[in-house]
Amino acid sequence: MANPKPKKLTKGTLPIYVVLTIASLLSLFPFYWMFVMATRPSAAYNSIPPTLLPGTQLVENFQKVLDTIPFFQAMWNTIILCSAVTIGVLLISSLAGFAFAKFQFPGKNFLFILILLTMVIPPQLGLIPQFYLISQLGWLDTLLGAGVIFLLNPLGIFLMRQYVSQSVPDELMEAAKLDGCSNFRIYWSIVLPIIKPAFATLGIIVFTLVWGEFLWQFTVLRDPSSYTLQVALASLNNAFRVDFGMLLSGVFWATVPLIIIFLMFNKLFISSITEGSIK
Amino acid sequence: MESVHKRKQVAAKAQKRKLSEKKKDMISGYLYVAPFFIIFGIIGLYPAIFSIVLAFQKWNGLGDMQFVGMQNFVIVLQDPLFWKSLYNTIIMGLMGTAPQLIVGIILAYFLNMAVIRFTNFFRVTIFMPYITSMVAVALVFGVFFSSNETALANYVLGLLGFDPVSWKTSEWGAKIAISLMVFWRWVGYNTIIYLAGLQSIPKDLYEAATIDGANKVQQFLHITVPLLKPFIILTVFMSTVGALQLFAEPTVFLGSSAFNRDEAMTVVMYLYRDAFNLGSFGTASAAAVLLLIIIIGAAALNTWLTSGAGRKKRGV
């Protein structure tokens, strides 16, 4: 953005910079500290004053993580789970959002209000029957069982309906119909390309949601080979004597990929928050 | 004569085509919303109803269910641990979210000031905690707030002249540590929402107020806060509902002792423990139903308070 007036550091703005800098440092410190601890032997933790500079044990600590939990397996499981759920939610939501935005059918408003109501039900209400259902289906300790409940994403339908009705012109649909396009063809060849930006927004919301969710994954995934990152990391803390260096090494390596993705797409992440919550 | 007849025929044909087109659209409509509603029926609605039914049964998840009326509710409501967990949830909810919203508004206000540079850098760093998972946050803060005397938090307390705190086993230590991690992770998220709200306020309002002689504080109270109200309502609502569902942070923070201690047990932890550690699905479901009622009550109270406060303000 072109700025006509150059912004100068004046006396009046100094306190504001101080506040913002402190807020930034406090936001970043745990990340830095996690890195420091991941490079230090556990004993460093007991030193006074506390160590605040990185050490040399980065590899050793991570080796201990690998010996304790199936880290790469868990990373892989998490990526598969998040990707599959994200693709599923995008397809389900865009189909339904398209229908709610562009078609007339009896009961449409009722169904839409029903979707909005489902947003209010806390996920814990159904936890026990869901667990029972998944165990009856034999899906405990599987990514299918861990992922299926996340396909239920009312926010996605809400966002997609909004986006389709704003950005897909009725005339375009009429024209396509005159050319003999079926409704599904219109969805696939016209609507999907137009709503790509909404896919990016919703995709980030769903991916980070599933990546970080704990309660359900913790309930369904009991076997270490089926662990996702969150469950695996949490299990590191269950030992009687926890090796802090190893613990934070696990957290560090599990967080690094997300930080890299975030720094690359930070604008998209931040706009997904406002779009996902304000519409 | 003939041409009129023909025209009529064409019109009827067009009508018919339009009708069948309408019918097709109707079928497509149902077909396209079907995947969501099928999944909703199986994974959402059925478990929710099942949960409410279960709340009136005695069941360990294996044998036959036995109808026990209100007994599960009586058991839960007479259990001091349930009330303790509700108390903990509310206290940690207040301590974790109220400061978060206030600090969020202040940071957003600063970030929105035209004279401030590097806003993108500040915005990204302040938002960054949100991308870390709750488990990661709980583990990092778990080391930071470990019960060791040499824990970093205790070292900082020592510098300030306080005695070390046993963060994981004391009534207030656990609550403060957990509230702080909730605060740290969410403050940037709320800042971003408030920032979007501030950016939606037209600049000429401030210019007009400046011309009329209103100072910065008056502008903040009479322009910023009222116009930001929808965003405040939204964040208060989301934080309230989120706070009542607190589970991951205390569970991971306390590790193996999470379900054996009561300093930081939340309502969701209580129901989880009933179901999966004690095998009492009935009382756990009763607790889940109570949680639903509490959440609906809190949401209604929220709406009532915010709309009531708004009416009063307009009346003045």
Q: Is the peptide bond before A49 cis (omega within 30 degrees of 0)?
A: yes
Nearest residue on chain B to A232, alpha-carbon basis: B135
Four-way CATH pick for A64-278: 1.10.1200.10, 1.10.3720.10, 3.40.50.10810, 3.10.20.90:
1.10.3720.10
Interface touch A152/B40, C-beta < 8 Å: yes
Taking a C-beta distance cutoff of 8 angstroms, is the pair B57, B63 a contact? no
Interface touch A184/B133, C-beta < 8 Å: no
Taking a C-beta distance cutoff of 8 angstroms, is the pair B145, B153 a contact? yes
For B158, B189, B260, B262, B276, the CA distances from B78, given in Å and listed in that order, are 42, 38, 19, 16, 20
Region of poorest pLDDT, from A40-44, A49-53, A225-229, B312-316: B312-316
| pLDDT for position A1 | 43
DSSP at A226: G
DSSP at A51: P
Interface touch A125/B133, C-beta < 8 Å: no
User: Closest partner residue to A13 among B61, B115, B234, by Cβ?
Assistant: B115
Residue A181, pLDDT > 60, answer yes
Report chain B residues whose CB lies below 8 A from the CB of A50.
Answer: 150, 152, 155
Question: What is the token pair recorded at A37?
Answer: 């601890």
Residue type, A249: S
Interface touch A212/B133, C-beta < 8 Å: yes
Taking a C-beta distance cutoff of 8 angstroms, is the pair A170, A111 a contact? no
| pLDDT for position A44 | 67
- As a whole number of angstroms, the distance between CA B311 and CA B307 comes to 6
Kindly report the nearest CA distance between residue A77 and chain B, in angstroms: 16
Radius of gyration of chain B (CA): 28
Q: How confident is the model at residue A2 (pLDDT cuts 50, 70, 90)?
A: very low
| pLDDT for position B316 | 34
pTM: 0.88
Q: How confident is the model at residue A3 (pLDDT cuts 50, 70, 90)?
A: very low
Residue A95, pLDDT > 60, answer yes
| Higher-pLDDT residue of A3, A9 | A9
Report chain A residues whose CB lies below 8 A from the CB of B126.
Answer: 20, 23-24, 27
Burial grade of B135 (CB within 10 A; 0-12, 13-18, 19 or more): buried
Residue type, B89: T
Closest CA to A17 of A6, A2, A7: A7
For A31, A43, A195, A250, B305, the CA distances from A21, given in Å and listed in that order, are 16, 32, 38, 29, 35
Predicted ipTM of the assembly? 0.90
- As a whole number of angstroms, the distance between CA B131 and CA B59 comes to 39
Q: What is the pLDDT of residues B18-70, one digit of tens each?
A: 668 788 888 989 999 999 999 999 988 899 999 999 999 998 878 888 899 89
Question: What is the token pair recorded at A172?
Answer: 């375009």
Q: Which residues of chain B have pLDDT under 50?
A: 310, 313-316
Nearest residue on chain B to A217, alpha-carbon basis: B248
Question: What is the token pair recorded at A132?
Answer: 């029972």
Residue type, B85: S
Report chain B residues whose CB lies below 8 A from the CB of A121.
Answer: 44, 48, 292
Residue A278, pLDDT > 60, answer no
| Angle, helix B225-244 to helix B171-199, in steps of 10 degrees | 140
| pLDDT for position B311 | 53
Interface touch B107/A19, C-beta < 8 Å: yes
Taking a C-beta distance cutoff of 8 angstroms, is the pair B119, B127 a contact? no
Taking a C-beta distance cutoff of 8 angstroms, is the pair A191, A100 a contact? no
Terminal-residue alpha carbon distance, chain B: 74
Taking a C-beta distance cutoff of 8 angstroms, is the pair A57, A40 a contact? yes
Kindly report the nearest CA distance between residue A76 and chain B, in angstroms: 17
Report the percentage of chain A scoring pLDDT > 90.
57
Report the percentage of chain A scoring pLDDT > 70.
92
Interface touch A208/B28, C-beta < 8 Å: no
Q: What is the pLDDT of residues B253-270, one digit of tens each?
A: 998 888 998 999 999 999
Tell me which residue has tokens 């850098």: B121
Contacts across the A-B interface (CB distance below 8 Å): 280
Taking a C-beta distance cutoff of 8 angstroms, is the pair B296, A120 a contact? yes
Q: Domain segments of chain A: what residues?
A: 64-278
SS (H, E, C) chain B: CHHHHHHHHHHHHHHHHHHHHHHHHHHHHHHHHHHHHHHHHHHHHHHHHHHHHHCCEECCCCCCCEECCCHHHHHHHHCHHHHHHHHHHHHHHHHHHHHHHHHHHHHHHHHCCCCCCCHHHHHHHHHHHHHCCHHHHHHHHHHHCCCCCCCHHHHHHHHCCCCCCCCCCCHHHHHHHHHHHHHHHHHHHHHHHHHHHHHCCCHHHHHHHHHCCCCHHHHHHHHHHHHHHHHHHHHHHHHHHHHHCCCHHHHHHHHHHCCCCCCCCCHHHHHHHHHHHCCCHHHHHHHHHHHHHHHHHHHHHHHHHHHHHHHHHHHC
Q: Give the total residue count for chain B.
A: 316
Beta-bridge partners for B57? B67
Q: What is the pLDDT of residues A223-257, one digit of tens each?
A: 999 999 999 999 988 776 788 888 999 999 999 98
- SS3 for A7? coil
Taking a C-beta distance cutoff of 8 angstroms, is the pair B288, B55 a contact? yes
Interface touch B291/A124, C-beta < 8 Å: yes
Report chain B residues whose CB lies below 8 A from the CB of A27.
Answer: 125-129, 184, 188
Q: Can you say how many angstroms the Cα of residue B285 is from the centroid of all Cα atoms in its chain?
A: 21
Taking a C-beta distance cutoff of 8 angstroms, is the pair A233, B251 a contact? no
Q: Which phi and psi (to 5°) does residue B66 adopt?
A: -130, 125
User: Closest partner residue to A105 among B29, B123, B141, by Cβ?
Assistant: B29
DSSP at A258: H
Q: Which helix (H) or strand (E) holds A174?
A: helix A170-178
